[in-house]
């Protein structure tokens, strides 16, 4: 009996060397040096689904890296993407607006930088190449992953947390390959009811597999524990909402469980 119990422990216990691995990775899009943050946990084996994390308009900061670590803790290899170059970030709205607009004002820049990150992640030896990559994003990053889905980028799924819904390039019928999940604060003053209606009509017209969830009482930035501090410092209507944060993360997990057969 004792030998049997020892055998069970050996079979079902994680390897002793299992650990969280994290590192900064340099890559390029055009002439711009980008500095992403790659993280995985080898307790989940050597072939893991891949997930991209696109940051808020503040840039690739500790919050985006923490979300990547949380995904690694679920058994995904995650790359927190650098959309601004040189890994830069800020806590000042004026700087964040400038960084963001430098990307948005050039139609191909966001796509080029997203695809460069996607290619880098998919080359990693611990990534399961038989499965498509998924992507999540926050605020600016949420809008970014939605736009990648609209443009037909080959993704398994995208999840947008408090991301802008307005786009200059609406999805065309049959274009959206990814399953789409939008996680929105019902009291977010940046997201109008008209933009929600337009988004849902767009997804229906495109024939997309999508789900839209509104969280009552939640405002912009509801997943970020630093939202209250950043909102106060920048005179912006931002606030953390623990209940909406937890519920939206669970909705994302449910989507990924279905997509990746977990």
Which contacts of 105-112 are long-range, i.e. CB under 8 A and separated by 24 or more positions? Answer: 109/29, 110/83, 110/144, 110/147, 111/147, 111/148, 111/151, 111/153, 112/29, 112/30
* CATH code for the domain of 147: 3.40.50.1820
Q: Does 77 reside within a domain?
A: yes
Q: Does 4 reside within a domain?
A: no
CA distance 45 to 68: 17
Q: Does 9 reside within a domain?
A: no
pLDDT of residue 190: 97
Q: Does 105 reside within a domain?
A: yes
Distances (CA, A) of 192 to 121, 164, 165: 35, 10, 9
Q: For the chain, which ranges sit under pLDDT 50?
A: 4-11, 13-17
pLDDT of residue 9: 47
pLDDT of residue 45: 87
pTM for the full predicted model: 0.92
pLDDT of residue 3: 53
Range of the domain at 73: 14-259
> The tokens of 58 are what?
């503040």
Q: Which helix (H) or strand (E) holds 64?
A: helix 62-72
For tokens 């997804």, the residue is: 203
Structurally, the chain folds into a number of domains equal to 1
Q: Does 115 reside within a domain?
A: yes
Q: Does 151 reside within a domain?
A: yes
Beta bridge partners of 212: 182
Q: Does 235 reside within a domain?
A: yes
SS3 label, residue 62: helix
Q: Does 195 reside within a domain?
A: yes
Phi and psi of 201, rounded to 5°? -65, -40
């Amino acid at each position: 009996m004792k030998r049997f119990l020892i055998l069970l422990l050996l079979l079902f216990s994680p390897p002793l060397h299992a650990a969280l691995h994290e590192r900064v990775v340099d890559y390029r899009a055009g002439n711009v040096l980008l500095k992403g943050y790659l993280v995985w946990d080898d307790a989940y084996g050597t072939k893991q689904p891949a997930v991209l994390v696109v940051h808020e308009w503040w840039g690739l900061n500790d919050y985006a890296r923490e979300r990547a670590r949380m995904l690694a803790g679920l058994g995904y290899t995650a790359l927190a993407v650098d959309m601004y170059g040189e890994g830069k970030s800020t806590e000042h709205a004026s700087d964040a607006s400038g960084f963001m607009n430098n990307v948005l004002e050039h139609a191909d820049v966001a796509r080029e930088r997203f695809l460069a990150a996607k290619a880098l992640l998919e080359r990693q030896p611990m990534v399961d190449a038989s499965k498509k990559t998924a992507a999540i994003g926050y605020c600016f990053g949420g809008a970014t992953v939605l736009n990648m889905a609209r443009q037909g980028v080959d993704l398994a799924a995208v999840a947008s947390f408090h991301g802008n819904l307005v786009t200059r390039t609406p999805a065309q019928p049959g274009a959206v390959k990814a399953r789409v999940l939008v996680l929105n604060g019902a009291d977010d003053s940046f997201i109008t009811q008209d933009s929600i209606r337009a988004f849902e009509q767009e997804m229906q017209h495109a024939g997309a597999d999508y789900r839209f969830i509104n969280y009552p009482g939640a405002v912009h930035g509801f997943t970020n524990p630093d939202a209250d501090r950043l909102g106060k410092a920048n005179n912006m209507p931002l606030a953390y909402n623990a209940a909406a944060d937890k519920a939206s993360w669970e909705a994302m997990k449910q989507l990924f469980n279905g997509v990746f057969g977990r």
